[in-house]
């Protein structure tokens, strides 16, 4: 496809052990078809070698179940909407959404279509599931959380990896933002729909950059970056190596899903992704009524009342009563929000406009269905996964990603022949522009989907950077990350033409906070400040704007920022947005005013959309408030501490480390300005792929390779990760330890 830029380099990828090359050796001695060997490096990372790719997929499933049985079962139950059965009432909110949005059913449909249209990929996924089922019992025996919660692992169906993938990414594109925009429009007017546009609190973002060979010490490309996700224990990415006669690939896997979807290095080619920030999920306002036969009907785009699929499901709740959930699905998609009494309204009411279904000022009582590509297409793009493992060149990666569907990503890829790739991959529907902004009336034909958008690609010139900012994917989205991370990475990369893999760690750890500028820029204009406020202003203006772990100035700035955010949130102009969110609690993180102002602070300080907002007065008052409280001499890392999510909290967990960085830093350790300095969202992995010598590549994850609490490799990478240090990739089989599981 267009967009590839190829330049020649003379270097050739090599491994320490030539036998690691796929096809360079006969079938390993002593192996029978579908048999495999398991090796570990000094960090406990699994390196798997099998006689064929089905045996390798089985090995990946088995080893993942042995290392991470608890994590796999938590993710399976979340995908199926049954996590409350062992985690208790707090999980009902998610389980209800998982069932109403038909996550597991979508996975079943996609797998059935795969079996019919692509039996080879279906067999590959099934081999992985066979391995999971072989390893679950042994893995569960290693982890006391099964006994503590009474959870007994049960066999997986072949579609479960697809369900985990759907559940992991269903909120990836941030469709709840449309609920927030609807609320904003009703409170402040339609012209303010994107007033709070920002990258937060999205489920995922990333940094990624690719340096061609003419800027490296080896003459071959380097790809580096880090996916930003909510940090979980165990970690959401699994370092692993997969080798068979057809290929030898290392990278970062999603536990519960075969292959290496997002980040991989085949020896001669490598790839990495970031969130494209594309909008590809729609919310439809539905008008429902009871039909003559007692069933439910929805008003369709042709003016005809259509039958709605309807049934009930039961959520079992540990320590609580069972919960009945009504499942409705219109021709647009599953109903995920129900208005009170929506079946009792006058069926002859006016149907002109979305407001016909709304009964509250914030739009929360609209009955809404969700339309998302996997359920429409019956395809997740899983055929790309084994194809990526077999890739030898950028062209191979490009072809594989032509079939990618969910989620929509920006991709960097390079190979040892000098090939470079910068493209978008995924399924984005073509439809009316309003669909991207807010819920739209299901009965208006103009809001129907009209096919699929082409995925953009660009040639690589100089170097390529992807950090969720507006750029290559701009035609496909609405809200993007501020440009600060991308601009800072470009600035750092421009400072050298002699990059090595080890030097890339300095890029990962950069803590410059460019988004502080609009807030600090207001300070010089204030007159008649108290002496304490004058002193604080002088200190803030002299600050180097680095959120370093040991910086006390960073802590002071955060306190000032917090005071500013809270004062803005209390302004009367936002009174219509200040109340507690209504509707399903699963969407509430997108609907609270204080975090929205915290993430959008930079834009709110400069926008002309709310002229009645006296920003200067609020910032001045925040400065005086912070000064009166006293300037703490507390290092940033003492208040900016990691707080990972755990399905079951570990009562013996040590203190989590303090971190440098902040939301708009390259070292993107996100606090929630105005709410907390703690961080739950950060780099879920860091990687550096060297195309000259794969064994010079580097990587790290927040915790470790083993998902079992208390084991040697459960948190052994945590101290390094906290300092933005990476560990070497080991490729020499003779340096690995063979084990039997």
Q: Hey, what's the torsion of the CAs at 609, 610, 614, 618, to 10 degrees? A: -90
- Please write the tens of the pLDDT for every residue from 172-209: 888 999 999 999 999 999 999 889 987 654 556 899 99
- Please write the tens of the pLDDT for every residue from 378-420: 999 999 999 999 999 999 999 999 999 999 999 999 999 999 9
Tokens for 32, please give them: 């029978």
pLDDT above 80 (res 361)? no
- Give residue 651's pLDDT: 80
pLDDT band at 354 (very low <50, low <70, confident <90, very high): very low
What share of the chain has pLDDT > 90, as a percent? 84
pLDDT above 80 (res 131)? yes
Nearest Cα residue to 301 out of 275, 324, 273, 332: 332
**Mean pLDDT value of segment 224-229:** 95
**Mean pLDDT value of segment 207-221:** 94
**Mean pLDDT value of segment 79-93:** 97
For β-strands 282-285 and 440-441, DSSP reports them as parallel
**Mean pLDDT value of segment 256-283:** 96
Contacts 24+ apart (CB under 8 A), 609-612: 609/188, 609/191, 609/192, 609/195, 610/188, 610/192, 610/195, 610/573, 612/573
Query: Phi/psi at 396 (nearest 5 deg)?
Result: -65, -45
- Give residue 655's pLDDT: 87
Measured CA to CA in angstroms, residue 459 lies from 9, 60, 412, 421, 464 at distances of 17, 35, 11, 7, 9
How many angstroms separate the first and last alpha carbons of the chain? 44
- Give residue 443's pLDDT: 97
390-416: buried (b, 16+ CB within 10 Å) or exposed (e) per residue?
ebbbbbbbbebbeebbbbbbbbbbbbb
Q: Which residues contact 89 (CB under 8 A, 6 or more apart)?
A: 317, 319, 320
Residue 671, Cβ neighbours under 10 Å: how many?
25
| 370 within 8 A of 175, measured Cβ to Cβ | yes
- Please write the tens of the pLDDT for every residue from 553-579: 999 999 999 999 999 999 999 999 998
Tokens for 183, please give them: 């609320």
- Please write the tens of the pLDDT for every residue from 572-612: 999 999 988 888 999 998 999 999 999 999 999 999 899 99
- Give residue 579's pLDDT: 87
Query: Phi/psi at 634 (nearest 5 deg)?
Result: -110, 125
Round to whole Å and give the CA distance between 562 and 565: 5
- Give residue 732's pLDDT: 95
Q: 275 - beta bridge partners? A: 409
What ranges in 498-614 are assigned the alpha helix state H? 504-508, 517-520, 531-542, 552-569, 593-599, 601-604
* Residue 740 CB burial class (10 angstroms; 0-12, 13-18, ≥19): exposed
Q: Hey, what's the torsion of the CAs at 253, 466, 721, 586, to 10 degrees? A: -70
| 258 within 8 A of 56, measured Cβ to Cβ | no
Nearest Cα residue to 717 out of 680, 687, 681: 687
**Mean pLDDT value of segment 137-159:** 96
Tokens for 610, please give them: 């709310």
- Give residue 343's pLDDT: 74
Measured CA to CA in angstroms, residue 569 lies from 49, 672, 677 at distances of 56, 14, 17
- Please write the tens of the pLDDT for every residue from 517-547: 999 999 999 999 999 999 999 999 999 999 9
Round to whole Å and give the CA distance between 151 and 337: 30
- Please write the tens of the pLDDT for every residue from 40-54: 999 999 999 999 999
Whole-model pTM: value is: 0.91
Q: Scan for tokens 């945590």, then name that residue.
A: 718
- Give residue 78's pLDDT: 97
pLDDT above 50 (res 29)? no
393: phi > 0 → left, psi -120 to 50 → alpha, else beta; which?
beta
């Amino acid at each position: 496809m267009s967009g590839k830029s190829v330049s020649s380099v003379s270097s050739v990828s090599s491994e320490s052990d030539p036998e690691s090359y796929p096809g360079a050796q006969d079938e390993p001695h002593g192996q029978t078809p579908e048999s495999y060997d398991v090796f570990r490096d000094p960090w406990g990372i699994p390196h798997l070698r099998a006689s064929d790719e089905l045996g390798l997929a089985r090995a990946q499933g088995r080893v993942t179940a042995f290392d991470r049985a608890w994590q796999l079962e938590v993710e399976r139950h979340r995908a199926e909407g049954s996590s409350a059965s062992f985690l208790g009432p707090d999980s009902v909110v998610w389980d209800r959404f998982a069932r109403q949005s038909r996550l597991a059913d979508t996975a079943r449909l996609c797998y059935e279509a795969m079996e019919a249209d692509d039996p080879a990929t279906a067999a590959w996924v099934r081999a992985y599931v066979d391995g999971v089922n072989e390893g679950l019992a042994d893995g569960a025996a290693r982890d006391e959380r099964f006994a503590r919660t009474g959870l007994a692992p049960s066999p997986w169906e072949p579609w479960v990896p697809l369900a985990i993938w759907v559940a992991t990414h269903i909120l990836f594109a941030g469709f709840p933002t449309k609920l927030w925009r609807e609320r904003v429009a009703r409170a402040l007017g339609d012209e303010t729909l994107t007033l709070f546009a920002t990258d937060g609190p999205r489920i995922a973002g990333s940094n990624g950059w690719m340096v061609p060979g003419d800027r490296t010490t080896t003459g071959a490309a380097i790809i580096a970056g880090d996916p930003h996700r909510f940090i979980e224990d165990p970690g959401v990415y699994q370092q692993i190596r997969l080798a068979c006669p057809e290929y030898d690939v290392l990278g970062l896997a999603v536990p519960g899903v075969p292959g290496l979807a997002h980040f991989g290095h085949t020896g001669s080619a490598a790839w990495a992704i970031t969130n494209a920030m594309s909008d590809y999920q729609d919310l439809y306002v539905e008008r429902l009524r009871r039909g003559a036969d007692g069933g439910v009907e929805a008003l369709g785009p042709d003016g005809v009342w259509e039958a709605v699929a309807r049934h009930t499901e039961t959520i079992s709740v540990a320590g609580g009563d069972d919960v009945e959930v009504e499942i409705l699905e219109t021709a647009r998609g599953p109903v995920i929000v129900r208005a009170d009494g929506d079946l009792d309204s006058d069926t002859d009411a006016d149907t002109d406009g979305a407001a016909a279904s709304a009964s509250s000022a914030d739009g929360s009582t609209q009955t809404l269905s969700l339309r998302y590509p996997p359920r429409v297409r019956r395809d997740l793009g899983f055929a790309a996964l084994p194809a990526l493992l077999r890739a030898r060149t950028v062209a191979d990666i490009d072809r594989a990603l032509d079939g990618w569907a969910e989620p929509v990503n920006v991709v960097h890829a390079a190979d040892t022949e000098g090939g470079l790739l910068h493209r978008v991959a995924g399924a984005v529907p073509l439809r009316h522009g309003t669909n991207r902004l807010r819920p739209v009336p299901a009965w208006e034909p103009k809001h129907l989907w009209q096919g699929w958008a082409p995925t953009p690609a660009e040639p690589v010139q100089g170097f390529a950077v992807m950090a969720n900012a507006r750029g290559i994917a701009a035609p496909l989205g609405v809200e993007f990350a501020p440009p600060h991370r991308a601009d800072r990475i470009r600035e750092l990369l421009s400072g050298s033409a002699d990059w090595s893999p080890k030097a890339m760690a300095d890029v990962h750890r950069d803590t410059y906070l460019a988004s502080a500028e609009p807030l600090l820029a207001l300070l010089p204009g204030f007159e008649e400040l108290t002496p304490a406020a004058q002193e604080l202003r002088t200190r803030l203006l002299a600050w180097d704007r680095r959120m370093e772990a040991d910086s006390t100035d960073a802590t002071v700035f955060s306190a000032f920022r917090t005071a500013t955010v809270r004062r803005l949130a209390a302004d009367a102009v936002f009174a219509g947005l200040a109340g507690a969110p209504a509707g399903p609690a699963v969407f509430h993180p997108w609907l609270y005013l204080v975090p929205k102002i915290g993430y959008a602070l930079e834009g709110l300080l400069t926008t002309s959309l709310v002229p009645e907002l006296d920003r200067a007065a609020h910032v001045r008052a925040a400065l005086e408030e912070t000064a009166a409280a006293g300037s703490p001499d507390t290092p940033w890392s003492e208040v900016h501490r990691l707080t990972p999510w755990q399905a079951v909290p570990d009562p013996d967990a040590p203190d989590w480390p303090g971190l440098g960085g902040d939301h708009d830093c390259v070292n993107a350790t996100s606090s929630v300005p105005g709410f907390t300095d703690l961080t739950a969202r950060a780099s879920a992995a860091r990687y550096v792929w060297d195309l000259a010598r794969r064994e010079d590549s580097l990587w790290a994850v927040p915790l470790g390779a083993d998902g079992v609490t208390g084991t040697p490799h459960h948190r052994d990478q945590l101290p390094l990760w906290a300092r933005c240090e990476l560990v070497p990739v080991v490729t020499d089989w003779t340096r690995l330890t063979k084990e039997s599981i």
